[in-house]
Amino acid sequence: MTTDTSEKGLESLICAALTGAGCEPPQDGEVHERPSGYGAGWVAGNSQDYDREYCVDLAHLSAFLHATQPKVAESLDLGQGSPTRRRFLARLEGEVTKRGTVDVLRKGVKHGPHQIDLFYGTPSPGNEKARVRYGQNRFSVTRQLHYSRDKAQLALDLCLFTAAIRGKPAVVEYWPDTELRDTEQIPLTEDGGIEAFLRREVLPYAPDAWYVPGTVKVGYEISFTRHFYRPQPLRPLGEIRTDILALERETEGLLAGIVG
């Protein structure tokens, strides 16, 4: 079985570990739900559902509120780009900026007459209601998240929303370390291609390495030294010795004239 060592392959591997499936975006109008026997409790998100102005995944935020607080969800008009929705999203953004993401997830947001919960903590033993609520939390992972309003081409490889690490809510982002990037020259006749070379020469020393297919360049290296340089033959030792003796005779007495 051939291992996909490309950047997309690494992203898919992480998605499969988190969701139990790939992270291919759902069809328009759909929201991924947890499959039976899912991986680590995550669901796949869609980059198109991300609101760049307010920094939220609208589809999963709406799905969470409709499942846990349906009356609040209806009053916020999350399905429409209305002033009501914009006021709520602006309030949510302001609270995150002022209090921080963790505090907002722990304590929720007060908006008008509503106290809006955004995360349910780990339930205590025997608390069935809390257990059900905890199971309604939404942990989503989105591939190639286009986050910038000004530079639409910029994208995060993976972005994780509303993650709970050791019972403490946080927001985690995956980002490659650009300082570790390197280049390799691989022969066109390499048996197994780039993937085989990577498995043999790179992964034993850097197990989390991958390559980006879009950066691969096919070319031919021409060694100018090998093809165009013509080395001069070495002079015979006798000729070199004669030249040295002649120089010695020419310089004889020069040092005495300088220092004397």
Q: What would the pLDDT profile of 61-75 be if each residue is shown by its tens digit?
A: 898 999 999 999 999
What is the per-residue pLDDT across 13-28, written as a single tens digit (0 to 9) for each? 888 888 877 676 555 5
Among 51, 37, 119, CA closest to 88: 51
CA distance 199 to 204: 7
Asked if residue 170 lies in contact with residue 104, where contact means CB atoms within 8 angstroms, the answer is no
Q: Per residue in 156-198, pLDDT tens?
A: 777 877 644 334 444 445 456 677 788 888 888 888 888 888 8
Share of the chain above pLDDT 70, in %: 83
Query: Could you tell me the maximum CA-CA distance found in the chain, to the nearest angstrom?
Result: 110
Instruction: Give the span between the Cα atoms of 87 and 83, in whole angstroms.
Output: 6
More confident residue, 117 or 181: 117
Other Cβ atoms closer than 10 A to 41: 15
Q: Compute CA 115 distance to the chain's CA centroid, rounded to the nearest angstrom.
A: 35
Cα 166 to Cα 2, 121, 122, 162, 169, distances in angstroms: 35, 11, 9, 13, 8
The reported pLDDT for the residue numbered 115 is 93
Of residues 90 and 251, more confidence is placed in 90
Mean pLDDT of 9-13: 79
Residue 80 has pLDDT above 70, yes or no: yes
**Pairwise CA distance, residues 117 & 67, whole Å:** 12
Number of residues in the chain: 260
Count of CA atoms in the C-beta half-sphere (13 A) of 14? 18
CA distance linking residue 3 with residue 39, whole number of Å: 20
Asked whether residue 140 carries a pLDDT value surpassing 50, the answer given is: yes
Residue 260 has what pLDDT? Answer: 63
